[in-house]
Amino acid sequence: MADRTELLESALDSMQEGVALIGMGGEIAFWNQAAEATTGYAAIEVMGRPLPRGLEPLAPECDFRNHRTESARGMLVRARHKLGPEMQMMARLFLLRDGLGERIGAAVIFHPAESLDALPHGARGDSEEMSASQAEIEEHLRSEFEDCSGGGLPFGVLWVKVDQAESLHKSHGAAACDAMFEKFQHALATGLRPSEILGRWGDDEFLIISHERTPEMLHAHARVLVGLARTADFKWWGDRVSLTVSIGAAQASETRNETLAQLLKRAQRAMESSMRAGGNCATCAQGVQSCLRS
């Protein structure tokens, strides 16, 4: 039967993220297969040695006796592959302690930041129009996020889902949904600021790029749009459908170390919270919620 060390090494080797266990002297005690694939350095090249030159940013404070803080939330760093190319990496650093609480080293868990750049979308259909809409707004998202990160205009996103879309599709078909989305999009656009951008982000979801200055202002704006969506009553072959939306709001922050994908995931989770609350609701990613009821 395998001992605990073998089981631990096997478990760490199965992880998709790179894992390095570093002793108190800064020497590498374990280097998993994902670390090899990510950095180009085989375990046999690094074991018992400090992090190779170019990979030091993964653990910027290797003097663990004087280590001040852990970075369990993750830090975005620039490291260098063995073959030379520079890589953006997301790294987390955890101090390791023995049974008496004494520090014995650290664990560094890392992966390429590019894997975080796969932006979450709503459910996507196969239409070229949908793909074009998502590609266009994604280009705007990346540009606005980069500008905000460089000290430009405040930036936030509103993830909008039409609550009645699924039931309307089942009862009246895709043509009815498309007609409803056109009317809904027109109604919503009347409440947008001149600088805001609205686009389809999924079969029944939309994304709004906003420049409200604070999370509170972004949330208040989302509440207004929730109320505005109610004015977009839709009729299809004599049947009247009252529309409501679930909105998730997330504001980018220079003090928050996150990628664009993580910002969008916060907005998506906030939108899902609005849905769980029954829809017709706006939820801020910071946890502030406001629901409008009939």
pLDDT in tens, 147-158: 887 777 888 999
Cα distances from 166 to residues 144, 170, 231, 292, in angstroms, run 31, 6, 19, 21
Q: What is the DSSP letter of 280?
A: S
Domain termination residue (choose one: 115, 140, 171): 115
- Which residues span the domain enclosing 93? 4-115
Q: Same structural domain for residues 184 and 237?
A: yes
Q: Same structural domain for residues 106 and 185?
A: no
Q: What is the CA radius of gyration of the chain?
A: 24
Q: Same structural domain for residues 59 and 110?
A: yes
Q: Which of 58-67, 107-116, 170-179 has the highest mean pLDDT?
A: 170-179
What H or E segment, with its residue span, contains residue 228?
A: helix 215-229
Report the distance separating Cα 160 and Cα 81, nearest Å.
Answer: 40
List, as one string, the DSSP characters of 160-213: EEETTHHHHHHHH-HHHHHHHHHHHHHHHHTTS-TT-EEEE-SSSEEEEEE--S
Residue 14 makes CB contacts below 8 A (sequence gap 6+) with none
What is the count of structural domains for the chain?
2
Report the distance separating Cα 228 and Cα 184, nearest Å.
Answer: 10
Q: Same structural domain for residues 127 and 37?
A: no
Domain termination residue (choose one: 115, 149, 175): 115
Q: What percent of the chain has pLDDT over 70?
A: 86
Q: Same structural domain for residues 58 and 184?
A: no
Cα 161 to its chain centre, rounded Å, is 18
CATH number at residue 257: 3.30.70.270
Q: Same structural domain for residues 142 and 212?
A: yes
Domain termination residue (choose one: 115, 136, 163): 115
Matching residue, tokens 């990346």: 142
Lowest mean pLDDT among 22-36, 52-66, 176-190, 229-243: 52-66
202-236 pLDDT tens trace: 888 999 999 998 999 999 999 999 998 887 778 88
CATH number at residue 19: 3.30.450.20
Q: Same structural domain for residues 186 and 262?
A: yes
